[in-house]
Amino acid sequence: MAKYPASLERLIYELQFLPTVGPKSASRLAFYLLGASDERVRALTQAMLDVKARLTSCSRCGNLAEGGLCEICRDPRRNAKLLCVVATARDLMAMEGAGEYKGLYHVLGGLISPLDGIGPDQLNIDSLLARLQQEPIEEVILSTNPTVSGEATALYINNIIKDKGLTVTRLASGLPIGADLEYTDPMTISRAFSNRRPI
Amino acid sequence: MAKYPASLERLIYELQFLPTVGPKSASRLAFYLLGASDERVRALTQAMLDVKARLTSCSRCGNLAEGGLCEICRDPRRNAKLLCVVATARDLMAMEGAGEYKGLYHVLGGLISPLDGIGPDQLNIDSLLARLQQEPIEEVILSTNPTVSGEATALYINNIIKDKGLTVTRLASGLPIGADLEYTDPMTISRAFSNRRPI
């Protein structure tokens, strides 16, 4: 098979480390970059390096931050009595995107998953317990995914904190808005049925 | 809508200039980069900058090169009597990938396309004519795509060079290997019919 010049082959190779990028996409991306202006490519590479250099974890909640506290922890309007526990910063953003929740967060940095070698010690649970002691938190909303790992993690944390006199809740499970019963999986229907509520 | 820290938002913005990358893919790529090792990200950014800094056009045929002549023009085993005229370096690579052709190339840098403001003057046609005078070329294979622009460009070049005593050919049009007549477009079937050949 014919080869491109070395620097182009190298770029195509490096691009294939990106998720969902195979040889064909990598080649298309490489040719795009080859044709793009120098400014455009410099802006992209600089943005990549800046993210690596600047992004840190919030020293309080573990959310993404650029040094010190994250934007949410720095916001005095957030309700410090509510603490929403999520697995990742992306889950946090999904909660924020819904616009409903106005309390604080705690980012675990993952879920308990023995098969992946992730136990409670790898998660930010010690810092969660410390916050429950130091901060005026009244309700903990365990917002891990309704999956095996998410349920196990919520159960584990609930076992530790259930005797601390806090309200501990979990996001409701049921039919997503706009769902079609016909195409909904049996587990979700079972859960929606057992959690049914009066109109 | 909630926002990520500024450097992450910036990266997601810059990634969206890449082809086929929308907001969701950009976000996924950004989080991949955030989690990747510093070495990995540096290798990627360096590869991007290197391609911009090093890649040039071959001074003879217009193929991609890293300064001076491309690999094909530097290869003394190529048959200098054959010249394959293609629109782009990617088309050249497709020809090379087939492994059939052992002559030299000339890369036009595009196709005549009045709607996109590309006329013959924007293509490497002057350098093609110069090569036909200086080099021992006997056959010119006009390998532009069998599309409106490709046919127009081949016709245009043929009009200029047809009186120079060269053999001028075009890649055969017809059914692609593995094709199914039922699903082949009428234009291709017409062409395959008029170009039918004895077994």
pLDDT of residue A1: 52
- Residues 112-151, chain B, touching A (beta carbon < 8 A): none
Mean of the per-residue pLDDT values of chain A = 93
The residues with which B103 forms a beta bridge, in sequence order, are: B79
Nearest CA in chain A to B1: A97
Q: Does B34 touch chain A (CB under 8 A)?
A: yes
pLDDT tens-digit series, residues A174-198: 888 888 888 888 888 988 888 888 8
Q: Is the pTM of this model over 0.95?
A: no
pLDDT of residue A199: 82
Alpha-carbon span B108 to B58, nearest angstrom = 12
Architecture of domain B76-171: 3-Layer(aba) Sandwich (3.40)
pLDDT tens-digit series, residues A145-172: 999 999 999 999 999 999 999 999 999 9
Q: Per the CB < 8 Å rule, is B4 touching A93?
A: yes
Q: Where in chain B is the domain with CATH 1.10.8.420?
A: 6-54
The residue with tokens 């587990």 is A187
Q: Per the CB < 8 Å rule, is A11 touching B50?
A: yes
Q: Per the CB < 8 Å rule, is B11 touching A93?
A: no
Using a 10 angstrom Cβ sphere, with 0-12 exposed, 13-18 middle and 19 or more buried, the burial of residue A116 is: exposed
Sign of the dihedral through C-alpha B74, B78, B82, B83: negative
Residue A104 pLDDT grade (very low, low, confident, very high; cuts 50, 70, 90): very high
Q: Does B155 touch chain A (CB under 8 A)?
A: no
Q: Which of B2, B10, B54 sits opposite A47 (nearest CB)?
A: B10
Q: Does A31 touch chain B (CB under 8 A)?
A: yes
Residues of A with Cβ-Cβ distance to B2 under 8 angstroms: 93, 96-97
Compute mean pLDDT per 10 residues along chain B, 199 residues long, and list them.
85 96 94 94 97 95 94 95 95 90 96 92 96 96 93 95 93 88 88 85
Q: Which of A8, A65, A93 sits opposite B51 (nearest CB)?
A: A8
Residues of B with Cβ-Cβ distance to A84 under 8 angstroms: none
Alpha-carbon span A49 to B185, nearest angstrom = 48
A&B contacts, CB < 8 Å:
132
Alpha-carbon span B140 to B169, nearest angstrom = 6
In this structure, the dihedral spanned by the alpha carbons of residues A44, A49, A51 and A57, taken in order and rounded to 10 degrees, is: 170
pLDDT at A125 over 80: yes
Cβ atoms of A85 and A140 closer than 8 Å: yes
Nearest CA in chain B to A48: B11
Q: Per the CB < 8 Å rule, is A55 touching B5?
A: yes
Q: Where in chain A is the domain with CATH 3.40.1360.10?
A: 76-171
Closest CA to A7 of B109, B56, B123: B56
Q: What percent of chain A has pLDDT over 90?
A: 79
Alpha-carbon span A96 to A107, nearest angstrom = 13
- Residues 76-105, chain A, touching B (beta carbon < 8 A): 89-90, 93, 96-97
Q: Does B19 touch chain A (CB under 8 A)?
A: yes
pLDDT of residue B181: 87
pLDDT at A2 over 80: no
Class of domain B6-54: mainly alpha
Residues of B with Cβ-Cβ distance to A49 under 8 angstroms: 41-42, 45
Residues of A with Cβ-Cβ distance to B15 under 8 angstroms: 44, 47
pLDDT of residue B2: 66
Interface mutation target, options A1, A3, A4, chain B, most CBs of B under 10 Å: A4
In this structure, the dihedral spanned by the alpha carbons of residues A44, A48, A51 and A52, taken in order and rounded to 10 degrees, is: -160
Q: Per the CB < 8 Å rule, is A44 touching B70?
A: no
Nearest CA in chain A to B21: A29
